[in-house]
Chains A and B, each alone.
Chain A
Amino acid sequence: MREEEKFKIPIGPQHPALKEPENFSLALKGEKIMGVEIRLGYNHRGIEKAAEARTYVQDVYLLERVCGICSHAHSTCFVQAVEEIAGAQVPKRALYIRTLIAELERIHSHLLWLGVAGHEIGFDTLLMYTWRDREIVMDILALLTGNRVNYGINTLGGVRRDINKEEIETINNGVDILEERTKYYIEVATQETTIIKRLSGVGILSREDALELDAVGPTARASGVKRDIRHDDPYAAYAEIDFNVITDDHSDVYGRTVVRVKELMEAYKIVRQCLKDMPDGPITVKVPRKIPVGEAISRYEAPRGEDVHFVKSNGTEYPERVKVRAPTLANLRAVKHMLKDRFLADMPIVVAAIDPCFSCTDRLISVENNGSRDKQFLTWEALRNYSIEWHRDKGIDFTELNKNFRKRLGSI
């Protein structure tokens, strides 16, 4: 086809429908995508250079901020490399806590993805449901670490916070609820006609292509590639944990959805095992400020796939080189392939299906009433009631409607 017959549209870096700055340049013929060019780098913050000018301890916090969603992935991946060079024997309890936080992070990330995927195909009810449920795991993370994202739980040689019996009970209760809800999502994903029809055959990546293009994470696993760092190159406590690597042969966006919802079930299983088998003992071991000369490479199965950190040390308290390769970068080449010869309308969900890393730093602040007189404090329930009353005053009342819905929804 001649060049002038193609119609080129740029999407991004600033675009109302794009949640992070990237530029996709699509060459179209009619509605069909004939060629894709991706321009990255709008979010490049020079973190690798900045890491060289900071101490190892400062870098734990800097690298945690590579990503707002899989922050624990990056900080763990980094500390593992440094600990390997320093020859630190991290206590087992710390490894279990890292694994626990890692799986809770995967749960929050996959639920977030499920919501985004629902939103991208116009199924916003799914977004509302999953993001509501995601609050349960966000609250657990906030309880354990003090933060909803950027947990700051890792330190060189272990973790910074221990976990107590009450917290274990809270997690178990939360996971029980989430497991019930996830069973329902599995039903939705595998039986709901809208989802199946909209996602099947979209964003196809064959097993051969996934291997050739070096796809990682759920994107690769949904094309039947059994690639999971937790299983292949175990770190933290994964070598002692019994879990299944979920794969699927649909090789499309539908397959990626199935893999993620089933991985949620595995994550609950891992969380329970961590809580049950967590040994007693110290949670940290001292690591010297100056790290001896050496190099190490660490891998981590982040919610989006393989995360890689390479660290080279020079005997000082500053690293010589820190190299980070986040999973999205590895999967973008596959996106290019998935979009080619497909329809423009499929683009949002195909891009969303690799779960590109969006910043997620929203947080609900809970303030304790310290006796201040001029401020009013509301509990969540009181705020909800206030909202209902406020709307009722304006003549909007959902009471009857809600009653009817509850009857119809039954146990859901």
Chain B
Amino acid sequence: MTQEENLKQALVGKFGYLDGKINITRERRIFLEVEYQNFANVFEYIVNQLNFHHLCTITGLDEAEKLSFIYHLSLESGVLLNLKTGVPKQAPVIKSVIKYFPGAEIYERELVDLFGAKVEGLPEGNRYPLTDDWPKNEYPLRKDWKAKGK
């Protein structure tokens, strides 16, 4: 059995509700989606038990009713696991993952500025990447946001 299949089995074995939600799109690429209420457990397991010790980045997505986030995690052997989760756009609150990955701070700040996510546990600090005088409640990467012409 391939490494990807092994990882899939381990995940389904641990979390039964992931059955049918894990998609191996090609060699070294695994995509899976979890409800936000299960995110913390699955994330912790993937990092600590399956040894995905490198967070490539976090992608934010505006999907109409909800904001989704994909955590791109990598094994040293090159397998890339894309863990997707989503929260309602009305209350887009997620917990920070900096206790696992201190380097995630900048990726989470990006979600705050560009998507309007509220990240709990993010320390005080400079915003990124928008300017300090950027107007409130304007989130450029949301689909309804349009650049204003001169």
CB of B145, distance to nearest CB on chain A (Å): 8
- Within 8 Å of chain A (Cβ to Cβ): is B21? no
**B53 interface residue (CB < 8 Å to A):** yes
Identity of the chain A residue whose Cβ is nearest the Cβ of B56 in the assembled complex: A308
A213 sits at the interface (CB 8 A): yes
- A42-64: which have CB < 8 Å to B? 44, 46, 48-49
Q: Are B128 and A211 interface neighbours, CB within 8 A?
A: no
Decide yes or no whether A249 CB sits under 8 A from chain B.
no
A227, B76: Cβ atoms under 8 Å? yes
Q: A37 with B129: in contact, given A329-B106, A333-B105 (CB under 8 Å)? A: no
> Hey, which chain A residues are within 8 Å of B31, CB to CB?
295
Cα(A314)–Cα(B80), bound, Å: 22
Establish whether residues A321 and B53, one from each chain, have CB atoms under 8 Å apart when the complex forms: no
Q: Which of A40, A229, A297, A334 has the most CB of B within 10 A?
A: A297
In the complex, the answer to whether B29 meets A297 with C-beta atoms within 8 Å is yes
Contact yes or no, B72 A214, CB < 8 A: no
Q: A41-B129, A233-B28 are in contact. Are A321 and B76 (CB under 8 A)?
A: no
Which residues B19-55 have CB closer than 8 A to chain A? Answer: 25-26, 28-29, 31, 53-55
**Is A325 a contact partner of B57 (Cβ separation < 8 A)?**
yes
> Known: A227-B76, A232-B77, A310-B70. Is A48-B141 also a contact (CB below 8 A)?
yes
B88 contacts A by Cβ under 8 Å: no
The 0/1 profile, CB within 8 Å of B marked 1, for residues 204-240 of chain A is: 0000000111100000000000110100111000000
- For window 305-338 of A, CB contacts with B under 8 Å fall at 306, 308, 310, 312, 321, 323, 325, 329-330, 332-334
Which residues from B are CB-within-8-Å of A325?
A: 56-57, 107
Question: Are B56 and A213 in touch, CB under 8 angstroms?
Answer: no
**What residues of chain A lie closer than 8 Å to B72, measured between beta carbons?**
297, 308, 310
The interface residues of chain B lying within 8 Å CB-to-CB of A229 are 78
B125 within 8 A of A: yes
Give CA–CA (A61, B76) in the complex, Å.
31
Complex partner residue of B103 from A227, A234, A297, A330, CB under 8 angstroms: A330
Q: Is B61 an interface residue (CB 8 A)?
A: yes
**Most chain B beta-carbon neighbours within 10 Å: one of A312, A323, A334:** A323
Contact (Cβ within 8 A) A41 B130: yes
CB nearest neighbor in B for A212: B102
* Residues in A whose Cβ lies below 8 Å from that of B15: none
Chain A hits for B56, CB < 8 A: 297, 299, 306, 308, 325, 330
User: With a CB–CB cut-off of 8 A, which chain A residues contact B85?
Assistant: none
CB pair A310–B103 under 8 Å, yes or no, is: no
Nearest B residue to A294, CB-CB: B25
Expressed in whole angstroms, the minimum distance between the Cβ of B103 and any Cβ of chain A is: 4
Kindly report which residue of chain A lies nearest to residue B72, judged by CB atoms. A297
A286 within 8 A of B: no
User: Which one, A46, A308, A330, A334, contacts B147 given CB within 8 A?
Assistant: A46
The reply to whether the CB of B140 lies closer than 8 angstroms to some CB of chain A is yes
State in angstroms the CA–CA spacing of A226 and B54 once bound together: 13
Which partner residue on chain A sits nearest B77 by CB separation? A232
Least CB distance, B147 to chain A, in whole angstroms: 7
Known: A46-B147, A232-B77. A214 touches B55 (CB 8 A): yes
B80 engages A46 (CB within 8 Å): no
Shortest CB–CB separation between residue A404 and chain B, in angstroms? 53
Shortest Cβ distance from B72 into chain A, in angstroms? 6
10 A/B residue pairs, CB under 8 Å, sorted by A: A41-B128, A48-B141, A212-B102, A213-B103, A214-B54, A226-B76, A227-B76, A295-B31, A299-B80, A310-B70
5 interchain residue pairs of minimum CB distance: A41-B129, A232-B78, A233-B78, A325-B57, A214-B103
